[in-house]
């Protein structure tokens, strides 16, 4: 933890925590944009440990609202890929710098965003052609669940390990699955709650989570809760199309951040 909490430092950390709160109840990928702000303010290692208790608090708020809407099949399908991603990233750390790995992941995420946009455009065109011909449009290959789960699960595991950016891959996965907004939030809430709880033994074992860190978490907890309330208000004002478009746009921004800053 910092030796002194200056007004500027408090403001910067507060903005990051607020974004984390909004991400938990409105748009999970926002947390990816909050991570670099917090890392710049506190340092990557300190920021990771500081964030875990606050993220779990945000997860609990999200679960209190969206837990019953989770699609557990989607969660179980992505778990093997996440574990594989952890292993692949650990191996990459032995040969590559963390920033290089983050940039590689940024390129993969950005490519995935463009592919999703292209597929959505193709789908709209095919539906329009079918409608003009008086035909019923049927998706050519709706059973892409296993391949998408394997790819985005691995990507989520890698981005979580290398850059605390697992939210982007999870967002793209759920968009690919065409889940409704509530199912999106419920599935994300459970997935990230489990992931963040799993981090506790790691940060404790490394000696990163101490009394000072927990006291700082307690001080910023009200900001996290304000963020979750703000997120609920934002979520209620979005429709499915706006939600999906914002998720894609923010995923693209997150990928550019990884590519530029590593």
* Residue 73 is assigned to a structural domain of this protein: yes
* Residue 134 is assigned to a structural domain of this protein: yes
* Residue 95 per-residue DSSP state: T
Number of domains in the chain: 1
* Residue 122 is assigned to a structural domain of this protein: yes
Residue 85 CA to residue 259 CA, distance in Å, equals 19
* Residue 204 is assigned to a structural domain of this protein: yes
pLDDT 10s digits, 144-171: 566 778 888 888 888 777 666 678 888 8
Q: Is the pLDDT of residue 38 over 70?
A: yes
Q: Is the pLDDT of residue 44 over 80?
A: no
Q: Is the pLDDT of residue 211 over 50?
A: yes
Task: State the average pLDDT for the chain.
Answer: 84
Burial class (CB in 10 A: 0-12, 13-18, 19+), 124: exposed
pLDDT band of 9, cuts 50, 70, 90: very high
pLDDT of residue 152: 86
Domain range enclosing 135: 7-261
| Cβ neighbours around 57 below 10 Å, total | 21
* Residue 38 is assigned to a structural domain of this protein: yes
pLDDT band of 208, cuts 50, 70, 90: confident
* Residue 2 is assigned to a structural domain of this protein: no
| Cβ neighbours around 133 below 10 Å, total | 9
| Cβ contacts of 258 within 8 Å, gap of 6 or more | 102, 103, 105, 106, 109, 163, 165
pLDDT of residue 153: 85
* Residue 224 is assigned to a structural domain of this protein: yes
pLDDT of residue 17: 95
* Most confident range, picked from 73-87, 113-127, 198-212: 73-87
* Residue 241 is assigned to a structural domain of this protein: yes
């Amino acid at each position: 933890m910092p030796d002194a909490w200056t007004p500027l430092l408090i403001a910067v950390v507060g903005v990051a925590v607020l974004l984390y709160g909004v991400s938990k109840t409105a748009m999970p990928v926002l947390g990816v944009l909050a991570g670099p702000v917090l890392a710049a303010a506190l340092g990557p290692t300190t920021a990771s440990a500081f964030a875990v208790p606050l993220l779990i608090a945000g997860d609990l708020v999200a679960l209190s609202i969206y837990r019953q809407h989770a699609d557990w099949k989607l969660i179980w399908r992505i778990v093997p890929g996440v574990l594989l991603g952890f292993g692949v990233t650990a191996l990459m750390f032995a040969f590559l710098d963390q920033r290089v790995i983050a940039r590689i992941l940024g390129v993969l995420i950005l490519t995935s965003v463009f592919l999703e946009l292209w597929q959505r455009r193709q789908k709209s065109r095919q539906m329009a052609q079918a409608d003009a011909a008086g035909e019923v449009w049927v998706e050519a290959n709706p059973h892409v669940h296993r391949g998408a789960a394997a790819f985005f699960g691995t990507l989520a595991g890698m981005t979580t390990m290398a850059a605390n950016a697992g939210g982007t891959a999870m967002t793209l996965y759920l968009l690919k699955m065409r889940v409704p907004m509530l199912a999106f939030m419920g599935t994300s809430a459970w997935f990230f709650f489990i992931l963040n709880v799993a981090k506790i033994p790691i940060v404790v074992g490394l000696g990163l989570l101490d009394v000072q860190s927990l006291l700082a978490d307690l001080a910023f907890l009200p900001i996290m809760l304000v963020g979750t309330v703000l997120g609920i208000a934002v979520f209620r004002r979005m429709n499915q199309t706006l939600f999906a478009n914002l998720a894609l746009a923010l995923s693209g921004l997150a990928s550019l951040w990884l590519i530029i800053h590593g």
